[in-house]
Amino acid sequence: MSDDRTSAGDPARTLALLWRDEAATPRRGPRRGVDVDTLVEAAVALADEQGLAAVTMRKVAERVGVGVMSLYTYVADRAELLDLMLDTAYAQMPREDTTSQPWQARVTAVAEANRDLYRRHPWAALISTLRPPLGPGQMAKYEHELAAFDDCGLDDVTVDDCLTHLLTFVRACARDSEAARTRDQPDGVSDEQWWAAAGPLLTRVLDMDRYPRAVRIGTAAGTAHGSAHDPEHAYMFGLRRLLDGLAVLIDVDHRVQ
């Protein structure tokens, strides 16, 4: 699991960078031919192409054509760069106007927007945001997503709880989906090939009388989904159940019959 997290740098300097407050982050050294936005764009592209581990200060500097020491005149360290990357990705998310739609549709739109974010930037799901990057992208995202629960009869703390639960679910599904997408790459063995090899071996050692449910239900699920885990099915099933759970909290007058 990645140890990368947002808001791991100096709070005052990171916030100044996120909000592009140049007065609070004076640039050291001679003026360069690139700016912070150029560096962030390069870092995002690098992460999209090669994964989050590829984002190092040296590689970003090479991509924009500056010396690595020059990079430190813009951002103090990789922690600041990660905050800038994620906040930029948030800022670029489409914000669909769903104000006239039922709450289920509004909440689903939030889930789908975040799922699309992780499809475009798989690395974003690997960064812990327990301390969120408090930049303009994060704040615009939060403001927009909270509106999905308008007029649902919930108090403010419960609204935040509901949104957090939704986003945690989508992020977990995104991580599983990315793992499924890349799982064949290291050894070149597909799921079907792996099960074809492992299945007969498991049958030889497994006491079916001792694990009757595991055998029966596991076989049924594997046959239905073509794998031990189908990320698409898991997301759709989970989202429907999540909406069912939220409906318990929401005033009956706002439910869609």
Closest CA to 113 of 97, 99, 126, 134: 97
Query: How much is the pLDDT for 221?
Result: 84
Read off the pLDDT of residues 28-73 as tens digits, 9 standing for 90 and up: 555 557 899 999 999 999 999 999 999 999 999 999 999 999 899 9
pTM of the model: 0.88
pLDDT for 257 beyond 70: no
| Pairwise CA distance, residues 122 & 136, whole Å | 21
**Distance separating alpha carbons of residues 114 and 169, to the nearest angstrom:** 10
* Confidence bin at 188 (pLDDT 50/70/90): low
Highest average pLDDT, of 6-20, 31-45, 174-188, 214-228, comes from: 6-20
Q: Which residues pair with 128 in a beta bridge?
A: 5
- Angle in degrees, 0-180, between the axes of helices 231-249 and 156-182, rounded to the nearest 10: 170
**How would DSSP label each residue in 106-121?**
HHHHHHHHHHHHHHH-
Looking up tokens 């916030």 gives 15
What is the pLDDT of the chain when averaged over all its residues?
Answer: 89
- List the domains of the chain with CATH numbers: 11-91 (1.10.10.60), 103-254 (1.10.357.10)
Contact 18, 134 (CB under 8 A): yes
Which ranges of 123-211 would DSSP assign to H, the alpha helix?
Answer: 136-146, 156-182, 191-205
Beta bridge partners, 5, equal 128
42 Cβ contact partners less than 8 Å away, ≥ 6 residues apart: 60, 63, 64
54-65: burial string, b at 16+ Cβ within 10 Å, e else = ebebeebbebbe
